[in-house]
Amino acid sequence: MKRTTLLLLILVFSICSLTKSQQLNLMPWPSELKVGEGQFVINKNLRIGVDGNPDKRFHPNLVRFIQQLSKRTTIPFDRDSVLTSSSTASMMIKINRSGIVKLGEDESYILKVETGKITLSSETELGAMHGLQTLLQMLDRNKDFFYFPCLEIIDKPRFAWRGLMIDACRHFIPLEVIKHNIDAMAAVKMNVFHWHLSEDQGFRVESKVFPKLHQLGSNGEYYTQIQIKEVIAYANERGIRVMPEFDIPGHATAWMVGYPELASAAGTYKVEKFFGVFDPTIDPTNKETYKFFEKFFKEMAQLFPEEYMHIGGDENNGVQWDKNTKIQEFMKKNGIKSNHELQAYFNGNLLKILQKNGKIMIGWDEIFQPTLPKTIVIHSWRGRESMEESARKGYQSVLSNGYYIDLFHNCSEHYLNDPLPADSKLNTEEKSRILGGEATMWAELVTGESVDSRIWPRTAAIAERLWSPATVKDVDDMYRRLDAVNLLLEETGIQHIKNREAMMRRLCNGYYIEPLRVLADAVEPLEGYDRHGSQRYTTEFPLSRVADVALSDAPDFVRFRLCFNDYLKTKNRDSYSKMMEYLDKWSNNQQEFYALASNNVALKEALPLSDNLAELANVTRKLMIQFNSGIKNSAAETNAIRIQIEKLNKPVAEMELPLFKFTLDLVGKLRNGEKEE
C-alpha cells in the first residue's frame, strides 16, 4: 500500500480515536457523571472483593466481567487470586440486598474510580451489574497499559421497562442468536426481552398440550420447552425479564394449521409464506376456543415465570368475522356492535384465563377498550397519542411506536422519540403510567444471519432514550458514542459486524470486499415498507443481496455528516479535510466497484448506485469548496444543480443515497439571498 493512501486511511479512521480521547463513550449516558483526574491502571494485581448480600446471579456476571477484561487486555487473570476478600481488594463492590428480576426493581448504582481504587455500590446486584457494564465501556489503553479513567457516576434508569422485541416467527431466529442478543441488551442496560412467538408464518414454541401447534404450525423450526427455560435462566442471570407474546385473535394462521377448529372460517390452513395482514382469525364466539386457551395459557404460564403475558391483538382485519353468520348472530344476540367490541369480549375472556394463572395482560393498542379493567397494559405501536389517551384513562403503557427498528429509519428518529417529551400534557400521575418502551424487530426482511445488524447498534440509542435523563439528546454526540459502543457490542457475541462482512465476502466471491464495503457504508436500504414495493417477499427469500448489507445509518455517511456539523460549528480545517477525503473515497470507488462487479452478476444490480454515489460525491465536493469560500449560487445555478442531482435520487436495488438530502440542503444553503443556517 502506498504511503499516501496509508495516511489518508489513518486520517479517515482516526476520527473516532481522536474524539475518543477527549470524551467518554458511555451508552446509555449516566444520570450524573463527574470526570476526575488520573487513572486506575489494570494489571495482574487487580483484586476484586464483594461485600453484602447479592443474589447468586452476581457471581457469574462478575466472572464474565473478568473474562471480558482479560480478553481485551490480554492479561491472564488468575480467577482464584483476583476474587479476594474485601480487605485487600483494589476494586470493592458493595451490594445491599438480593434483587428480583421484575418490573420496578432497584437498578441504580454508584461508581467511583480513583487512582488505585474502584468502588461500586448498589442496592441490588442488578445495579452493580449495570456498573460493571459501565466499566467495560470506560476501559481505555495507551502504549503502556490499560486503565479506567477516574470519575464518579451516580446512575439509575429513567424508565423501568426497557425492552427489545424479537419476532422469531416470520423468520425463525436461532437459539444462540437470541442468547447473544440478550448479552447485548445487558451491555446497554436493557431489561425486557419480548419474544414474539406466534404469527401467520410460524408457531415457534413447543406445546406439550397441543403439539400440533409447533409440529404443523412451523417449518420444523421452533424452540423446545427446555430451550425456552434455558433462555429464561440465561436472561434472568443477566437481569432481563423474558415476556412471551402469543398474538391472537389475528396474525394467527399458524395456530389453525394443526387446530382449524380455532378459526372463524371452516377449511384447512397452511403456514403463510407471504407477509401482510391475513384473514385467519380466532373464533371468539366458540366456547371450545376458551377451553383451548385455558389449557394453552396454563401451560405457557408455567413455562414463562414472567408476570406479564403479551397477547398481541393487533391488526385483526375482521374479514372472517364479517363473513361468519354464526358470529354475526352471536354479536346481535349479545349486543356487540363492532368487531372492536367483539375483540374486547374476546380479550375479557382471555383476561380471566390469564388472571387465573397469575398473569398481567399486555397487548397492542387494539386491546384498549374501556370495558377492560385498568390492570391491563397497553403496548403502543400506533402512536404516542393513543398511548397518552390510555394513560389518561388510567392504563399503564409501553411505547413501541417510533421504535420500529425493522423499518430502516435513521437511528436519530428513534433516539429523539421520547415516551414522555418535555411538552407532554400528561400530569404526574398519568406520566407514572408510562412504563417505558421497546424496540421492535419485526422479521419480514431479516434472517438469523442478518438480524443482529438490523438490531444493533441502533437499539443502544433506544436503550439510552429509556435509561438516560431526557436532557441527554445531542444527536451528533449520540452517533459519535454509538460508533464506539458498536465495536464493543461485538464482544457480547452478536454477529452484526461479522456476519455483514461474511455476507459481503459471499457477494464478492472472494476475500477482497473493499469496494463493496465502501459502497455499502455509504448507502441505505429504502425506508419504511418501500423495500416491499419492488417485489413480493416471502419467507423463502434469501436476503443476501447488496441491500441486505446496507445499513439504516450508513456508517461512513454518518461520520461524514459529523465532520460537516463540526466544521459548521468550529470551522475546524481537519473536519473539512476529512469530509473531502470521504468525498474522494466515494468518487474513486466507482472504478474500483466496477472492477469488482464486472464479472459478478450478484453485484451487477448495484452498479448504477455506485455511479450515482460517485457523481453525487463530485457535485458535493464542488459545493463544499464553494461553501468553504463563501461563494453563492444564483437561482438559475441553484436550479440547474437541483436538476442535475435529482436524477441521482432514484432508488436502486432497494437502496438510496443519504448523501442526496445532505447535498440538497447544501444547495439550499448556497443559494444567493438565503441565509446560512
Active site residues: 315
Would you count residue 650 as binding its own copies (CB under 8 A)?
no
Binding flag, residue 662, its own copies (CB under 8 A): no
d(CA 277, CA 251): 7
Residue (225 or 628) nearer to its own copies, CB:
225
Q: Which is nearer to its own copies, 1 or 422 (CB)?
A: 1
* Identity of the residue, 276 or 383, whose beta carbon is nearer to its own copies in the bound complex: 276
Per-residue x/- mask for its own copies, residues 541 to 580, rule CB under 8 A?
xx-xx-----------------------------------
* Smallest gap from residue 481 Cβ to its own copies (A): 14
Q: Which strand (E) or helix (H) includes residue 153?
A: strand 146-155
Among residues 36 and 174, whose Cβ is nearest to its own copies?
A: 174
- Name the one range near its own copies by CB under 8 A: 27-35, 114-122, 451-459, 493-501: 493-501
Least separation in angstroms between residue 264's CB and its own copies is 27
Q: Least distance (Å) from its own copies to the CB of residue 533? A: 16
Residue placing its CB nearer to its own copies in the complex, 507 or 550: 507
Q: Segment contacting its own copies (CB under 8 A): 63-71, 107-115, 280-288, 386-394?
A: 63-71
Task: Report in angstroms how near the CB of residue 217 gets to its own copies at its nearest.
Answer: 18
Q: Which of 85, 355, 600, 639 binds its own copies (CB under 8 A)?
A: 600
Helix (H) / strand (E) containing 460: helix 458-467
**Of the candidate residues 287, 371, 511, 636, the single one contacting its own copies (CB under 8 A):** 511
Tell me how far, at minimum, the Cβ of 485 lies from its own copies, in Å. 13
For the bound state, the minimum distance from the C-beta of residue 506 to its own copies, rounded and expressed in Å, comes to 6
Residue 373 CA, distance from chain mean position: 31
Binding of its own copies at residue 11 (CB under 8 A)? no
If one asks whether residue 22 binds its own copies (CB under 8 A), the answer comes out as no
* Residues 224-263 contacting its own copies, CB under 8 A: 226
Tell which positions 520-539 bind its own copies, by CB under 8 A.
538
Per CB under 8 A, does 56 bind its own copies?
Answer: no
Toward its own copies, which CB reaches closer, 114 or 592? Answer: 592
Asked if residues 559 and 15 have their Cβ atoms less than 8 Å apart, the reply is yes
Cα-based torsion angle of the residue sequence 58, 61, 62, 64 in order, rounded to the nearest 10 degrees: 160
State the cell numbers at 151: 470519575
Query: Going residue by residue from 434 to 473, which x/- string records binding to its own copies, judged by CB under 8 A?
Result: ----------------------------------------
- Report yes or no: 303 and 229 within 8 Å, Cβ to Cβ: yes
Q: Binding residue for its own copies (CB under 8 A) from 499, 552, 612, 633?
A: 499
List, in order, residues 6 or more apart from 389 with CB less than 8 Å away.
368
Residue 85 contacts residue 49 (beta carbons within 8 Å): yes
569: left (phi over 0), alpha (psi -120 to 50) or beta: alpha
Q: Which of residues 108-147 bind its own copies (CB under 8 A)?
A: 141-146
Query: CA-CA distance, 371 to 303, in Å (whole number)?
Result: 29
Q: Using CB under 8 A, which of 427, 591, 639, 644 touches its own copies?
A: 591
Measured between alpha carbons, how far is 452 from 464 in angstroms, rounded to an integer?
18
Q: CA-CA-CA-CA torsion for 223, 227, 229, 232, nearest 10 degrees?
A: -80
- Is 476 a binding residue for its own copies by CB under 8 A? The answer is no
Closest CB to its own copies among residues 76, 267: 76
What is the distance between the terminal CA atoms of the chain, rounded to a whole angstrom?
Answer: 41
Task: Determine the interface stretch with its own copies among 187-195, 460-468, 496-504, 631-639 (rule: CB under 8 A).
Answer: 496-504
Is 595 an interacting residue with respect to its own copies (CB under 8 A)?
yes
Q: Which three cell numbers stand for residue 13?
A: 479512521
Q: CA-to-CA distance for 111 and 113, rounded, in angstroms? A: 7
Comparing CB distances to its own copies, the nearer of 162 and 238 is 238
In the complex, the smallest distance separating the C-beta of residue 76 from its own copies, rounded to whole angstroms, is 4
- Which residue among 105, 389, 476, 514 contacts its own copies (CB under 8 A)? 514
Q: 41-72 burial, b for 16+ CB within 10 Å, e for fewer?
A: bbeeebbbbbebebbebbeebbebbbebbbee
Q: Which stretch binds its own copies (CB under 8 A): 46-54, 199-207, 562-570, 599-607?
A: 599-607
571: left (phi over 0), alpha (psi -120 to 50) or beta: left
3-class DSSP string for 366-377: HHCCCCCCCCCE
Tell me which H or E stretch contains 579: helix 573-597
Q: Is 661 in the site for its own copies (CB under 8 A)?
A: no
Within a 10 A sphere around the Cβ of 489, how many other Cβ atoms? 25
Cα–Cα distance list, 28 to 61, 75, 158, 461, 574 (Å):
19, 27, 11, 7, 29
268 part of the interface to its own copies, by CB under 8 A: no
In the complex, the smallest distance separating the C-beta of residue 445 from its own copies, rounded to whole angstroms, is 12
- Please identify which residue in 440, 575, 589, 612 interacts with its own copies, judged by CB under 8 A: 589
Segment 602-641, which members bind its own copies (CB under 8 A)?
602, 604
Complex with its own copies: residue 22 or 428, whichever CB lies closer: 22
What is the closest distance, in whole angstroms, from the C-beta atom of residue 474 to its own copies in the complex? Answer: 23
Dihedral, CA of residue 379, residue 384, residue 385 and residue 390, to nearest 10? 30
State which of positions 64-93 bind its own copies (CB under 8 A).
67, 70-79
Rule CB under 8 A: is residue 222 a binding residue for its own copies? no
Site for its own copies in 161-220 (CB under 8 A): 174, 176
Q: Which is nearer to its own copies, 24 or 378 (CB)?
A: 24
CA-to-CA separations, 120 to 117, 151, 240, in angstroms, rounded: 10, 12, 21
Specify the DSSP class assigned to residue 208. Answer: S
Is residue 246 exposed (0-12), middle (13-18) or buried (19+ Cβ within 10 Å)?
A: buried
User: How many residues in the shown chain lie near its own copies by CB under 8 A?
Assistant: 68
Interface segment toward its own copies; rule CB under 8 A; list 163-171, 255-263, 487-495, 618-626: 487-495
| C-alpha–C-alpha distance, residues 384 and 493, integer Å | 34
HSE-CB of 365 using CA atoms within 13 angstroms: 14
Residue among 539, 625, 610, 537 nearest 576 (CA): 625
Beta strands in 562-660 (DSSP E): 655-656
Q: Which residues bind its own copies (CB under 8 A)?
A: 1-6, 8-10, 13, 16-17, 67, 70-79, 141-146, 174, 176, 226, 487, 490-491, 495, 497-499, 501-502, 505-507, 509-512, 514, 538, 540-542, 544-545, 585, 588-589, 591-592, 595, 597-602, 604
